Amino acid sequence: MKATPPPRLFAAVSFLMIMAMVVGTGWVQAPFFRQSIIDREAAIVQDLVEALTVEQALTAADMQHGTDGQARQRFEQIFKTLTLLPGTARIKVFNRENTVIWSDDPDLVGTRQTDNPDRLALAMQGVVQAVFNPVSDRFEASQQGQGSQGTIECYVPIFSQTTPQTGPQAQTQVIGVLSLYRNPHALNQTIQHGLVLLWAVIGGGGLILFLVLYKVFSVAYRRQQVAESELGKLTSEHERIVQLAKMSAMGELVGEIAHQLNNPLVGVINLSQLAEREVHDPQRVAELLAEVRKAGTECRDIVQRILRINQTSRSTLAPTHLIALVQDTITFCHQSIDLKHAVDFVAPQQEVKLHVDAVLVRQALFNLIHNAVLSAPDAPVQVALTLTPRANVAGVQISVTDSGPGFSAETAAKLFKPFFTTRAHGTGLGLSVAQHIAMKHGGVVLAENLAQGGARFSLWLPLESTP
């Protein structure tokens, strides 16, 4: 038997689950919806009762002498209006002894007839009660009472109007309860319309959820199939997988370095302009042209790495005199950056020699010096080269110290994230490129705020670097 495709299986299962959720939600919400409408009707009745009793200034004495002709006349004036409400079938007024003292059906006066004594008791405590009674009855009336398939019963407390009508003491004494029975036909229509709307909203929401989930699953399933198909085309040779990983990492690194080509190119332009002004001094022009050639060589090397992204990428390690490399980088900074102060350089007496890619290390150091200059353009920058072990590994540390404002703890967490910058016109690649270069040589770039102010960024490289 042919297996069911996963999208169809997911569609069937999710549709059934969502339909069950929609039906369950609607089933649970329907009684609350019905009761909320009934409570709203009870609140309207309460407002009417309050308005009528306030107008006639109904008192506890009136409720105690409900059988008097004068009291009945007052009740008739007060509560007869409620019989005009649409669907009103029966009205009863109870006193504190739960005795009916007035009703639109005279046969009920003097009785204690009610099918909901608990609701009546709560109303006597000042709580409005509303309940739907689905049982067919005759409104608890005499033989001439009107029959109906169920009733809506409202129990509304009647407050004494002898106390002030404003302030915290208004309407604090319950002197009776009005029981209003209504034919539920019109209200049931409202409830049914509301329930239809409720089910439509829930059903529409469920349908939208189903379509969204099905779309997400279909896209994810198709992408999974494409990924599996592409993965199936690749060989499982371990050497090729490792080589592809190296190529990808190097390609990302070189792609970021390509954004930094502007730095040496600016140096070439500045040196060329300076050579044009010094054309009368051949010796000076020769020195400037040598610097131009050096900067051009750097650009060529960077471009060659970009062109070799699709080839196996490796760092070109060679024995390099690190002190001379730092000095050349500082000289290049003087030519390509608008420095207002000299860059101070402190190095040990003995020569320091490492197997590194000189172009990449020079690029990393240039980025650190450039950032230091931008953080405090009017203050000197200090560069120091020291033999510093790290984690019991012998290494060399090139520190670049500035006099800027330093960086916050929030910024520190994003310093080496590509394209993150705190400057309006920064690329956000300087530190991330320097970090990549350091890691390529087995080293790291460290950042710290200084107690006396400023910040220090250090390029640490192990004495024995590996490609």
- pLDDT given for residue 400 in this prediction: 93
Strands 343-346 and 381-387: parallel
What is the overall mean pLDDT for the chain?
77
- Taking only the tens place, the pLDDT of each residue in 209-247 is 778 877 887 888 888 878 777 666 655 444 454 544 555
Q: Which residue has the higher pLDDT, 63 or 361?
A: 361
Residue 82, pLDDT above cutoff 70 = yes
Average pLDDT score over residue span 397-422? 81
Taking 60 as the threshold, does the pLDDT of residue 417 lie above it? yes
Task: Convert the pLDDT of each residue in 441-464 to its tens digit.
Answer: 889 999 898 888 889 999 999 987
Least confident of 28-37, 49-58, 73-82, 391-400: 28-37
309: pLDDT strictly greater than 50: no
For the chain, list the domains and their CATH numbers: 6-192 (3.30.450.20), 241-462 (3.30.565.10)
Give the model's confidence band at 148: pLDDT under 50 very low, under 70 low, under 90 confident, else very high: low
Residue predicted with more confidence, 57 or 346: 346
Decide if 33 contacts 198 (C-beta within 8 A). yes
> 328 with 294: CB under 8 angstroms?
yes
Bigger pLDDT: 90 or 263? 90
Backbone angles phi, psi at 389, to 5 degrees: -75, 155
Q: Which pLDDT belongs to residue 249?
A: 54
398 alpha-carbon distance from chain centroid: 42
Spell out a b/e string for 9-44, using b for 16 or more CB atoms within 10 Å of the CB, else e: ebbeeeeeebeeebeebbeeeeeebbeebbeebbee
Residue tagged 């592409």 (tokens): 230
Global confidence as pTM = 0.38
Mean pLDDT across the stretch 399-419? 81
Average pLDDT over residues 393-411: 88
- Per-residue pLDDT, averaged over 292-300, amounts to 78
Residue 299: what pLDDT?
75
With cut-offs at 50, 70 and 90, classify the pLDDT of residue 67: low
Q: How far apart are CA 439 and CA 246, in angstroms?
A: 13
The confidence score (pLDDT) of residue 310 equals 41
